[in-house]
Amino acid sequence: MNLYLRYFDQETLVSSVNEAIEFLKGIDEIGMNPDLEADLREYAASDLLYPKRYKVRQRVYFIVIKTEAATMLDFKEKRALRNSFDGAGHEKAPSPVLMKLNEERDGWYEGAMDFKRVLLVPGTGKFQYRDTHFVARVRAHSGLDCYNRIVDYLRSRVDERSQFPSAKGKNFNFTYLGAAK
Nearest to 73 by CA among 7, 165, 11, 30: 11
Burial 28-52 (b: 16+ CB within 10 A, else e): eebebeeeebeebeebbeeeeeeeb
Cβ neighbors of 55 (< 8 A, separation 6 or more) are: 61
pLDDT tier for residue 103 given thresholds of 50, 70 and 90? confident
pLDDT tier for residue 50 given thresholds of 50, 70 and 90? confident
Asked if 60 and 10 count as a contact pair (C-beta separation under 8 A), the reply is no
Asked if 110 and 175 count as a contact pair (C-beta separation under 8 A), the reply is yes
Q: What is the pLDDT of residues 116-161, one digit of tens each?
A: 999 999 989 899 999 999 999 999 999 999 999 999 999 999 998 9
Supply the pLDDT for residue 88.
52
User: What is the strand order of the sheet 172-178 is part of?
Assistant: 127-140, 107-120, 172-178
Interior CA angle at 31 toward 34 and 55, to 5°? 95
